[in-house]
């Protein structure tokens, strides 16, 4: 099908003077010298037709991709990475250019095919990815670039539909089960009914997929704005508990009266509430005034956009923490004599359970640590403001214990509040909660610079004759906490505090002897 037939004529014209055209021209030159036929395929073609920016390019060629990719990497000054030896797939990662801004990390994935390009496209996942353009035709700037589209992906692009190429796509590679939902979230598409049925049939197969590949699809799904609304859809398709079997026991677990939903539904609603608080989604149970009470700023937006590890950001991991934050409620549930339902220790047990889950899915240590902190401390913000605003000492201890996860935990606590009350949200309680969170953030990010360090470990050892060891660290922590609480503000006051502590401890030790 040509571009004119697909109603997408002109989509490739902006490439004429672009960096990507220069890049593809060089690749085409290298391949042409060896008599190799090549096509740009899949997601890059799809995204160009949709007018989306993308830096990942898939190239299918008739030669040995594993031999050709290193040559391309050498010519372009990039690095070659073997992705799949059996299916002959290799990636060339190009260095990030210093100019122009914004800096882009280009990736070229090379794969081998035999026979016709149409036969190669028939082995792909979805019709909107089963598209190809001849590389030579593309870089030579033919007036009408021909899009090879044997499965009518152009129609599905126009109608914004995710549809499988063949009934066997999920059995051939079960990671496509998650990819279908991820693409729907990223592109704002809907799923073809027959494709939904196939996913429900094959959902259990996701357990066969390597943890690294599941992690990649999950993070891309959770990075999409408003992705919280797709998690109930994952559950409807049977994928949620197939990916997270640890969540299966949360279904139907009744909670105390203030909760609008059972544990599983509450967990799903928490992620939707996170989207709302991040200004990336709606909360059907509240209006704009509810959102206006919650803190938000350019600084906070930048905070949640920070990258934690390869492919993950704070906002994606906050959503993941929201999904898993009550994972241990089933095993900690207890009903007291008066009928009160309690989940004592669920935050601590949940942190351990979530860490184990994410290790299985091959998340990085930094990612696991952040989610673990989110879950372990998600109740603390709600406890800090009772009955007054938290003290400077309490705020110091909160950030001391939570570190760089502290701000994320504050937002999880707000989302937890919304997903607890649901349609029965009490405006006064919400105003009180948001007031505490705003106050804690203001104290954590004061307008004036952070106070200077009053003393260090060498001062303590030299002045008081102590040897290196845990004792020195404990004394420094006492000074930092007192300084944060406004109790000491000078070097002399800090030294006097340590002197009194040591004298007191010395007298205690004498009494014990």
Residue-range domains of the chain with CATH: 3-158 (3.30.460.10), 160-243 (1.10.110.30), 250-444 (1.10.3210), 457-512 (no CATH)
**DSSP assignments along 451-480, one per residue:** PPP---HHHHHHHHTPPSSHHHHHHHHHHH
Q: Does a cis peptide bond (omega within 30 degrees of 0) precede residue 387?
A: yes
pLDDT for residue 144 = 66
Is residue 284 within 8 Å of 291, Cβ to Cβ?
A: no
Backbone angles phi, psi at 110, to 5 degrees: -105, 135
pLDDT for residue 337 = 84
pLDDT for residue 486 = 73
Using CA atoms, how far apart are residues 222 and 314, in angstroms rounded to an integer?
10
Using CA atoms, how far apart are residues 191 and 417, in angstroms rounded to an integer?
32
Backbone angles phi, psi at 38, to 5 degrees: -140, 150
pLDDT for residue 513 = 39
Find where tokens 């290790």 sit. 359
Mapping DSSP to helix (H, G, I), strand (E, B) and coil, where does residue 124 land? coil
Using CA atoms, how far apart are residues 89 and 216, in angstroms rounded to an integer?
18
- In terms of DSSP H, where are the helices of 287-426? 288-293, 298-305, 314-324, 329-332, 346-360, 365-376, 380-384, 392-402, 406-421
Q: Tens digit of pLDDT per residue, the chain (513 long)? A: 434 344 444 565 555 446 777 888 889 999 988 899 999 999 999 998 998 888 889 999 998 999 999 999 998 888 998 888 878 889 999 876 665 545 667 889 999 998 899 999 999 999 999 999 999 888 876 556 789 999 999 999 999 999 999 999 999 999 999 999 999 999 999 999 999 999 999 999 999 999 999 999 999 999 999 999 999 999 999 999 999 999 999 999 999 989 999 999 999 999 999 999 999 999 999 877 899 999 999 999 999 999 999 889 999 999 999 999 999 999 999 998 888 899 999 999 999 999 999 999 999 999 999 999 999 999 999 888 667 889 888 898 899 899 889 999 999 999 999 999 999 999 999 999 999 999 999 888 754 445 567 788 887 888 888 888 788 787 887 877 777 777 777 888 888 888 888 877 764 344 443
């Amino acid at each position: 099908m040509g571009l004119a037939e697909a109603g997408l004529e002109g989509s490739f014209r902006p490439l004429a003077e672009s960096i990507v055209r220069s890049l593809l021209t060089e690749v085409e030159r290298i391949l042409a010298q060896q008599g190799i036929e090549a096509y740009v395929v899949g997601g890059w073609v799809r995204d160009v037709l949709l007018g989306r920016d993308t830096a990942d390019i898939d190239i299918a060629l008739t030669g040995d991709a594993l031999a050709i990719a290193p040559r391309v990497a050498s010519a372009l000054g990039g690095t070659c990475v073997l992705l799949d030896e059996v299916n002959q797939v290799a990636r060339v990662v190009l260095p990030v250019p210093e100019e122009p801004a914004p800096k882009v990390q280009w990736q070229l994935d090379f794969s081998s095919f035999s026979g016709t390009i149409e036969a190669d496209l028939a082995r792909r996942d979805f019709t909107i990815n089963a598209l190809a353009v001849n590389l030579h035709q593309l870089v030579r700037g033919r007036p009408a670039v021909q899009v090879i589209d044997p499965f009518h992906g152009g129609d599905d692009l126009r109608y914004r539909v995710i549809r499988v190429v063949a009934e066997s796509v999920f059995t051939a590679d079960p990671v496509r089960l998650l990819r279908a939902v991820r693409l729907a979230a990223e592109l704002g598409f809907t799923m073809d009914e027959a494709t939904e049925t196939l996913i429900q049939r094959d959902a259990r197969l996701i357990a066969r997929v390597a943890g690294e590949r599941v992690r990649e699809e999950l993070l891309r799904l959770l990075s999409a704005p408003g992705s919280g609304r797709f998690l109930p859809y994952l559950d409807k398709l049977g994928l949620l508990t197939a990916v997270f079997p640890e969540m299966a026991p949360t279904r139907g677990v009744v909670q105390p009266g203030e909760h609008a939903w059972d544990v599983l539904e509450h967990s799903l609603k928490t992620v939707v509430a996170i989207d709302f608080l991040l200004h990336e989604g709606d909360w059907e149970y509240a209006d704009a005034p509810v959102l206006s009470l919650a803190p938000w700023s350019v600084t906070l937006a930048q905070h949640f956009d920070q990258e934690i590890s390869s492919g993950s950001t704070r906002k994606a991991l906050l959503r993941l923490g929201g999904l898993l934050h009550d994972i241990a409620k089933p095993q900690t549930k207890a009903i007291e004599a008066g009928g009160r339902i309690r989940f004592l220790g669920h935050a601590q047990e949940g942190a351990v359970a979530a860490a184990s889950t994410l290790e299985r899915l091959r998340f990085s240590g930094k990612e696991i640590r952040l989610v673990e902190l989110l879950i372990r401390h998600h109740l603390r913000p709600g406890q800090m403001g009772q009955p007054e605003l938290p003290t400077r000492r309490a705020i110091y201890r909160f950030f001391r214990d939570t570190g760089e996860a502290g701000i994320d935990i504050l937002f999880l606590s707000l989302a937890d509040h919304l997903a607890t009350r649901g349609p029965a949200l009490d405006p006064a309680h919400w105003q009180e909660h948001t007031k505490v969170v705003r106050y804690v953030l203001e104290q954590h990010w004061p307008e004036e610079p952070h106070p200077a360090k009053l003393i260090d470990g060498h001062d303590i050892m030299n002045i008081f004759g102590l040897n290196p060891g845990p004792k020195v660290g404990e004394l420094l922590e006492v000074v930092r906490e007192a300084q944060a609480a406004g109790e000491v503000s000078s070097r002399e006051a800090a030294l006097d505090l340590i002197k009194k502590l040591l004298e007191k401890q010395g007298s205690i030790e004498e009494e014990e002897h």
